[in-house]
């Protein structure tokens, strides 16, 4: 059984600590900072065995080297991005697996936000650690990849079971919801979701995890088939889903 603990750091980052009690194995996902991780490890009596990095940005790998020095943990990252992941020990590729105790994490390549972005999917725990590829009600900016690359990456995540819980790396849900409503104001699922998000944020509570099913119903970056969304972005009948996605991404960049 995987225990998932969430640490809120910096302005809006989340670090996740994953712990398998049966094997006493622990991993940290995208540690922006070392100190909060070390503090929680001490409080819970856990030993850090792995760092799972989704991509090379500083607010995801900033704690790598200090944590490795303090704990002797192994750092996992994309083989395609090995030169940009500080302290990398285990370079992984698409469809390979990393085992944390009894939990197997499948690696899925998701270029778009960065060219070497990967995500970690644990089917047994119905959990996806997706960094900056998929957000609750949003997706990552295209810093290195193309809109078509990101669209293809998101198709992989859309195909996961609906009850898959989404653990992304930032608390962007409320702002993403405001944008989503400009495209699908008549979507009752989206209306309900934005009300729930507002209530959570008023209490300073995380809006995560979301689920694949909830994102399919409300996230504009996964809803290029929606007639109201296509109308909102002035999509022509001949435009492909990837082209509609690109229009949505461009509108969000300017929002």
132 has catalytic annotation: yes
Quote the pLDDT of residue 198. 97
Quote the pLDDT of residue 4. 97
117 has catalytic annotation: no
89 has catalytic annotation: no
pLDDT 10s digits, 62-120: 999 999 999 999 999 999 999 999 999 999 999 999 999 999 999 999 999 999 999 99
List binding-site positions for Zn(2+): 55, 57, 59-60, 113, 132, 170
59 has catalytic annotation: yes
Quote the pLDDT of residue 237. 86
170 has catalytic annotation: yes
Quote the pLDDT of residue 46. 97
76 close to 98: Cβ distance less than 8 angstroms: yes
pTM confidence score = 0.96
Give the active site residue among 19, 55, 56, 117: 55
Q: Which domains does the chain have, with CATH numbers?
A: 2-254 (3.60.15.10)
Q: Is the pLDDT higher at 86 or at 237?
A: 86
């Amino acid at each position: 059984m995987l225990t998932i603990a969430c640490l809120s750091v910096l302005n809006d980052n989340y670090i996740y600590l994953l712990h398998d009690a049966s094997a006493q194995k622990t991993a940290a996902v995208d540690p922006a900072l070392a100190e909060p991780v070390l503090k929680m490890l001490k409080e819970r009596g856990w030993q850090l065995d792995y760092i799972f990095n989704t991509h090379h940005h500083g607010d995801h790998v900033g704690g790598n080297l200090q944590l490795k020095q303090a704990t002797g943990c192994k750092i996992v990252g994309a083989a395609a991005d090995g030169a940009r992941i500080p302290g990398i020990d285990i370079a992984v590729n698409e469809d390979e697996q990393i085992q944390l105790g009894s939990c197997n994490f499948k690696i899925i390549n998701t270029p778009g936000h960065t060219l070497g972005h990967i995500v970690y999917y644990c089917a047994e725990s119905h959990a996806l650690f997706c960094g900056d590829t998929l957000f609750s009600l949003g997706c990552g900016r295209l810093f290195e990849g193309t809109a078509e690359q990101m669209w293809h990456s998101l198709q992989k995540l859309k195909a996961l079971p609906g009850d898959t819980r989404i653990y992304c790396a930032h608390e962007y849900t409320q702002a993403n919801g405001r944008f989503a409503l400009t495209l699908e104001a008549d979507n009752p699922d989206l209306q309900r979701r934005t009300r729930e998000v507002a209530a959570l944020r008023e209490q300073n509570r995380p809006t995560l995890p979301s689920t694949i099913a909830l994102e399919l119903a409300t996230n504009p970056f996964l809803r290029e088939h929606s007639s109201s969304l296509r109308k909102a972005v002035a999509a022509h009948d001949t435009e492909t889903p990837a082209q509609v996605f690109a229009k949505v991404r461009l509108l969000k960049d300017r929002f």
